[in-house]
Amino acid sequence: MHSEEAIIEGCKRKDPLFEQALYQRHARKMMGVCSRYGQTRFESEDIFQEAFLKVFLSIHTYQGGSFEAWMKRIFVNTAINHFHKNKKHYHQLEYEDVPEVAFDHEDILSSLTTQELLKAINQLPEGNQLIFKLYVLEGYSHKEIAEMLGIHEGTSKSQLARAKAGLKKSLLTLYPSLYADR
Amino acid sequence: MPTDKEFEDILRNRFDDFEDEPPLEGWSKLQQDLQQHRFPKKRWPFSIIAIFLLIGLVWKEPTSMTQYAPAIGEAKTSAFSPLESQHGQKTIAKEAKSKRKEQLTSNGQLATDSYHRSDTQTPMLSIVAERNTPVQTITERKEMPTHQQNHPEQSLRIGSEPQKPTTSIETGRGIASSSRFKNPNKNEAGLNKPNNIGKEKAMRAKSFNTNQEDTTPREKINTPEEENATEKLAEKAVPTKAIATSKEGMPNLFPTNDRQSNVDPSEYIGNEVSPLSEISTSTSGVPFSGSVEIGESKTEPLPSKPVARNVGIERRLSVDKRSHRIDSLIRIQPVVSIHPVAKAKPKPDSDKSPTLSGSLPYTFGIYFSPRYAFSRFRPNQADNVLIENIRTEGKSMHTRLGYETGITCNRLLSDRWILNSNLVFIHLNETLDFSSKSTKPDSVTWIRSDDGSSIVAPHFNSHQQRYESSYHYVGLNLGASYSFWKRKQGSWYASGGGGLNILVRGKTNVYNNDTFVNTVRFPSARNPLEQMNYRISVGIGYAHRIAERAELTFEPTISYFLGSSFKEREPVGMKPYTLGLNVGLRFGR
């Protein structure tokens, strides 16, 4: 069992054994990242394949720090590129126009599995969905999201608000039984 | 009630440890992609193509020109210079022998290519007699005395005493062996050679540029040594042909002998000149006397352009008939005999395309072609599946890249039309991704609203399907090609044809929602011919001549498979297009 540093060095030397070891160590986690952004399984696999290829081809640029975070950034960027390729259009909504909705579904969230949550999130409009994922799931700021997607920061905020409202509706639609007793 | 911030944290924490199953065979696909990026092995066909193209660009056809082997001219250059070394003449003789290619034809004449004259070579020696005295020209060769044969240079010694000419006794014969000049039409016994028997009488009947006809029988008495020497010469003797002797006023110089009968120069017309060695040796045996100067002089320039005929040069010395002496400066006037023997190789016209004349009616070849597959498909039968989101872009090159190779046999119908037949082996890869939905809802959502109404929302599950196929075909194709632009170095052509392909091995891996379902293998054991398909191909190619009977061909082609007879087991009818670049070698034309 090799350490991560040894594996990374082996990958830099283009050693197939170390590359396979790196793949086996991070494949599931990275596939989880891809599943968040892919609309379908096929798209998720595409993102996964393309992103991992980029990791191996550009591993010589890794200078240190959290390798997982470095990989994750590559995967997220690849997902965003796919988003642009698919020409997902979304309109801009002013943040002030989004009504405040109280979200009182903590118990519901805890009763749903991650897959079910993901399914609900994927029901969101595509533009809102991406920003929601980047902001909520990945923790990017609106400024960073705006730079990555090439939009205004205000657009990112408004899209996030709309995504939150939509998520509530999705949960209600997908899992009405959970709300029946409330 | 959690705030938005708390909600976000909850979700983020839920997804922090979220993992999902990676795709099946993900690592193997990733490995292939890596290899393709790092080691583009599959680019080798294109590298080979690039190399061939580069060769074609720098390849130059050798400039065809009439080749004339300098034989006489070169030998002459040094043969008669008085300043040559003692062994000059021997060397020259050897050179002349080595350069000429004698092949006695059935009639004793030289073969066609035996005498070629360099365009740049001109006789360096000319002997022109001052016509102080009437001369009688004898165009005959005389054998060189033995001692002169051994030391040919002595025969050209200035101021040498004239040699008493030997005579041969023969009646009614030619003068070939009279005196010291050898008649190449005569053997050593003075008898006419078989091919000249018919001319013998003509020889005696005519005079050769003389005012008098000399019909006296010629005599020759040879010493035993001379007999031996002449035998050797006789072996190499070739009939000579005189030419310009027919020209009036042309001084024809030959030492003559009183007892020599006249030689009819017309006998020699059309005959080829004896090799230089004979000339030199025989000429060296000329019994000169008095002031003889032999050296380079102006010569009559020979035709500069190569002519389609052999050129022989014969020297004749005009000798005072009465005195047998050369009274004055003698220069041998080269006389050019012209006779059609061999045609110079015509300079090929670069603008004209190579014709079929001389080429084989069939050509054979081999070729290789990488092929990239596209696809158009439709369901083979009506079903409840709604296909959507067809992924026409391949995940990676290798899933759609195959190859084709084969051997060809072509029949040349005309200069431009060729009938082609190919026995081919094809390997194709095809990956098809699409999502589909059933026309029937998989589930419904029933929502009760506050006002008591119910909302039913159908849900249609989307299925992701993927077919990964690999096919191996053997086929026979027929077609034709037409060369619409032809040059000596290559030609452009258009081709078209069709054929029948039989699937010898194939399989399709079926995935549903990225889950392996099964592998369909064909052909089945029950029906080995269950999958045959037909295809049509068109292409435009370039054939580059790399050798006399070899061509290198480059032909981008498009093939369309018309579908298969395999519909029962094939989920969808796939009709792929393939784009390929045929690179081949063709032999025989």
Range scoring the smallest mean pLDDT among A41-45, A167-171, B37-41, B543-547: B37-41
- Residue A154: CA atoms inside 13 Å, Cβ hemisphere, count? 8
Can you give the pLDDT at residue B423?
93
pLDDT band (50, 70, 90) for residue A165:
confident
Chain B's closest residue to A19, CA to CA, is: B31
- Phi and psi at B254, nearest 5°, equal -155, 135
- For the cut 80, the answer to whether the pLDDT of residue A62 exceeds it is yes
Three-state secondary structure readout of A85-109: HCCCCCCCCCHHHCCCCCCCCHHHH
When pLDDT is averaged across residues B468-488 and rounded to a whole number, the result is 89
ipTM of the complex in this document: 0.77
What does the pLDDT read at residue B501? Answer: 86
Min Cα separation A91/chain B (Å): 23
Contact A49 B395 (CB under 8 A): yes
Q: How confident is the model at residue B372 (pLDDT cuts 50, 70, 90)?
A: confident
- What's the average model confidence in pLDDT over B399-428? 89
pTM of the full predicted structure? 0.34
Q: Could you give the C-alpha distances from A30 to A48, A52, A65, B584, in angstroms and in order?
A: 7, 9, 18, 47
- Residue B499 in 3-state DSSP? strand
Model confidence at B197: pLDDT above 60: no
- Across B217-271, the runs of DSSP E, i.e. the strands, are 253-254
* B496 pLDDT tier (thresholds 50, 70, 90): very high
At B94 the pLDDT is 57
Candidates B8, B27, B457; nearest CB to A20 = B27
Q: What pLDDT does residue B190 have?
A: 53
**By the CB < 8 Å criterion, does A117 face chain B?**
yes
Backbone angles phi, psi at B157, to 5 degrees: -65, 135
The answer, yes or no, to whether residue B11 has pLDDT greater than 60, is yes
A165 and chain B in contact, CB less than 8 A: no
pLDDT at B435: 73
Compute φ and ψ for A160, nearest 5 degrees: -65, -45
Backbone angles phi, psi at B473, to 5 degrees: -115, 150
Q: Does B31 touch chain A (CB under 8 A)?
A: yes
Q: Which of A62-71, A109-118, B258-267, B315-324 has the highest mean pLDDT?
A: A62-71
pLDDT computed for residue A18 by the predictor = 92
Among B23-37, B408-422, B565-579, the range scoring the smallest mean pLDDT is B565-579
Spatial distance between the Cα atoms of A164 and B305, rounded to a whole number of angstroms: 97
Predicted confidence at residue B269, as pLDDT, reads 42
Alpha carbons B138 and B239: distance in angstroms, whole number:
15
| Terminal Cα-to-Cα distance of chain A (whole angstroms) | 51
Is any Cβ of chain A less than 8 angstroms from the Cβ of B389?
yes
